[in-house]
Structure 1
Amino acid sequence: YAVEPLRDGRSFSSRRVTALQDGRAIFTMSSSFHELEPGFDHSDPEPLDVPPPQECPSFIETIEERYGDAAIWHEWDALDVRYVGDSTPGGGMPDDPTRRARMRVWVKTTAALPDEISIHQAILAYLSDLTLLSVATLPHGVAFMSNQLQIASIDHVMW
């Protein structure tokens, strides 16, 4: 990896990271960082129309039912992901024509995490991509594992 510092301020910094393979760039990432400091903290209330995780099938059960058994599904074995529903017809979520691509899942790690914020942030970044592709294909009536598609998440943002 080649890491290029772009900015170093008192509170914010940014880096460009280029992954190299055989001397050629195969991936580029721009990242911004902010010094941890006190500030506003809030969250939305838990939705009332969502069943508790123990009443929901595991994500692997749901995906195997839809697409068949595959070793790739076990890439997520370190996570307990529970599928609540999605916005496909019969997917269990109320129809909302203004938001056609929606999915709800419960997620927790299967083991306790160390009390290090950087580990929690890394897990959250990983989770942010977990259902991104499957949700993006919902309004188009094509399964994200369809052989009609070559699909990848190449650009999404967390803040």
Structure 2
Amino acid sequence: MTNPAERLVDLLDLEQIEVNIFRGRSPEESLQRVFGGQVAGQALVAAGRTTDGARPVHSLHAYFLRPGRPGVPIVYQVERVRDGRSFTTRRVTAVQQGRTIFNLTASFHKPEEGAFEHQLPPARKVPDPESLPTVAEEVRERLGALPESLERMARRQPFDIRYVDRLRWTPEEVEAAEPRSAVWMRAVGPLGDDPLVHTCALTYASDMTLLDAVRLPVEPLWGPRGFDLASLDHAMWFHRPFRADEWFLYDQESPIATGGRGLARGRIYDVEGRMLVSVVQEGLFRRLER
């Protein structure tokens, strides 16, 4: 299985080991901790597998409690909190080696017609994704070649990511940056037709770049890091159906960073400017000792 999109679908295909208990793989990677988007996506799969499938998820709220260890399986225990006429609620606990590393509560809503609609448009007009370079192309242009570690990461990456604004490298560019970022994203290959897979894949992707908005005024996004960062919590609201293997715009901003924590908000739009998802996350930022 060489296509990173196929590997993502496989990663989200949990093994059911009891009625409300599922096991997910955690790839062996040269990372200090399991990627948070992976844990959130797998937990949402576990929650969705205990519903009738007729109600799409409309929101999730999660806490990252401990770093997960790469290469070690994660067990997801689902509590069936409520099955109502319109809403279904599930609580998921992710356990690794006997310790809880993650909690998630997800709510599923029976589709219904709304009495009215409105939405905020994207904050600005942005170029089409096909006209923008990939991250790998931008880094190669700057450095002449990708470092070996980034080359391996680029080959494994399940999403094509294209920054709307050119990456900043110099101290002057960084100092002039506002705490805002926007990227076009889509899976690098087809993800099939299961709506739950697309929702969980986008949940995975939502943790990839959101904290960029916090870092932008402080340091270049690519290159040696001056800060250790970790996701603390994550919340999402799903407004409309979508496909994660089609282009979506992830518009991100950080209203505040203080006390070692930075808050980031994101709005996700399709190519027609329809808002699909809202995201909020807080991250921990600590200066690395040199």
Q: Same fold, TM exceeding 0.5?
A: yes
Distance in 2 separating the partners of 1:136 and 1:28: 24
The equivalent of 2:226 in structure 1 is 148
Distance in 2 separating the partners of 1:117 and 1:42: 24
**Cα displacement string for residues 1-59 of structure 1 (whole angstroms, at most 9, x for unaligned residues):** 22122222211122221111222212222222222334466766577742222221102
Secondary structure at 1:10 match in 2: coil
Secondary structure at 2:236 match in 1: coil
1:158 to 236, 240, 255: 236
Per the alignment, do residues 8 and 152 of structure 1 end up closer, same or farther by CA in structure 2, a change over 3 Å counting? same
**Cα displacement string for residues 96-141 of structure 1 (whole angstroms, at most 9, x for unaligned residues):** xxxx3221212222223323221221222122222112222123x1
User: Do the aligned partners of 1:86 and 1:103 also contact (CA within 8 Å) in 2?
Assistant: no
Q: Once structures 1 and 2 are overlaid, which stretch shifts more, 36-45 or 1-10?
A: 36-45
Extract unaligned runs of 5+ from structure 2. 1-75, 238-290
Distance in 1 separating the partners of 2:167 and 2:137: 18
Distance in 1 separating the partners of 2:211 and 2:156: 15
Q: Larger relative CO (CA 8 A, sep 6+): 1 or 2? A: 2
What's the % identity of the aligned pairs? Answer: 38
Counterpart of 1:58 in structure 2: which amino acid? T
**1:57-68 superposed matches below 5 A:** 57-62=133-138, 65=142
**1:1-16 superposed matches below 5 A:** 1-16=76-91
TM-score by length of 2: 0.43
Note if 1:124 corresponds to 2:199: no
Per the alignment, do residues 106 and 42 of structure 1 end up closer, same or farther by CA in structure 2, a change over 3 Å counting? farther
User: Do the aligned partners of 1:59 and 1:81 also contact (CA within 8 Å) in 2?
Assistant: yes
Extract unaligned runs of 5+ from structure 1. none
- Tell me how far 1:84 sits from its aligned partner: 1.3
Distance in 2 separating the partners of 1:4 and 1:25: 15
Structure with higher strand content: 2
The number of residue pairs the alignment matches comes to: 150
Distance in 2 separating the partners of 1:112 and 1:149: 35
Per the alignment, do residues 24 and 45 of structure 1 end up closer, same or farther by CA in structure 2, a change over 3 Å counting? closer
2:184 to 106, 110, 131: 106
User: Do the aligned partners of 1:62 and 1:83 also contact (CA within 8 Å) in 2?
Assistant: no
User: Do the aligned partners of 1:103 and 1:135 also contact (CA within 8 Å) in 2?
Assistant: yes
1:53 to 129, 143, 147: 129
User: Do the aligned partners of 2:129 and 2:162 also contact (CA within 8 Å) in 1?
Assistant: yes
